[in-house]
Amino acid sequence: MVHLGELRDEANHFVAIKEFGKMRLRRNLRVAQHRRPREPNKKPEVKKENEDPLYLVRTEVAIMKKLHHPNVIRLFEVLDDSDREELYMVYEYCSGGVVYNVKPGEQTTPLSEEMAHKYFIQILSGIDYLHVHGIVHRDIKPDNILLTQGGETCKMVDFGVSEMFVKPGDDTMRRTAGSPAFMSPALCEAGHGETHGCPDDIWAFGVTLYCMVVGRLPFYKENLYDLYESVQHDELQLDDHLSPECCDLLKRMLDKNENTRITVPEMYKHPWVSPKTGEPIPTLEEIEKNMVEEITEEDVQCAICRISSVFAVARAVSKFKRHSTMRRDSETPSDSSGGSVQQLP
């Protein structure tokens, strides 16, 4: 659940507050623990994540808070409400809406290739930045790419199913994640084993580009089983109005074989991606210059802030006043706004 927060940052901008139940995060924690490989003949040891059920969550939050990229949503703070068993993630606010609104099973007006290219290179830069830092998004789609006010900049959002590499350079994933229409053929295969997160992200990115320049999903069936079959076996249909360069890129991004699917470094060199616009496209080397500093134990412990008891008191006062107002129709308390919380103490 996402709320437009009353809190504002130092520049007086609105922020977006996303609410998470701790139960869901603990389930994700158990999945992450199962994914961790065990060394043979090694005695079990007491790990920090066993002492603190949210340790891995804290670690991931600590990393996310240090990710600074113009096309990745900024996570400002995470607040822990122990009374409600909820975590509140405070993000920067994007008021421009989604990058493109695709309707399943319907044809909509596509973006021009020029406009799609403008957004594409920004998303590509964001994906590259995440992959360099060992993070796969796992749910790339137009709904998870938001525009800032004015529509000039797009930002990747919703890291609810994202995963971090277990080992540097190892992007193998075991669980299925993502939105069905944007899932790769490997993820659509029944009983699939390990898949690779980076090629899966590229496939979803390819579906996103297809939606923007064609105006519909490349593969769509109302029945989920039929959709999975279509993704795995149906041939990609491309419209005549697309340029040869755009068609070639889509074919390579939506290659059903993940071993031959185009990679991020290869996309930078593709003629549709780096054409005649003169716009500087950040390279992998430039992104690596902005690698986040090492995450310390202090970063992990301070990643999530516990909400002050002042918040709990304010909620109680606000609730009491609402009930009092309902009982006393004839009188409206003069200080009825006193229970609202406008900013963090």
Please tell me the distance from the alpha carbon of residue 341 to that of residue 122, in angstroms, as a whole number. Answer: 36
> What token pair was written down for 232?
């795995």
Which residue of the set 52, 80, 81, 139 is catalytic?
Answer: 139
Please tell me the distance from the alpha carbon of residue 295 to that of residue 66, in angstroms, as a whole number. Answer: 9
Alpha helices in 53-179 (DSSP H): 55-65, 113-132
Q: Catalytic site residue 234?
A: no
Q: Percentage helix, strand, coil, to 5, in the chain?
A: 40, 15, 50
308: left (phi over 0), alpha (psi -120 to 50) or beta: beta
Residue by residue, DSSP assigns 228-248 as: HHHHHHSPPP--TTS-HHHHH
Active centre residues (catalytic) = 139
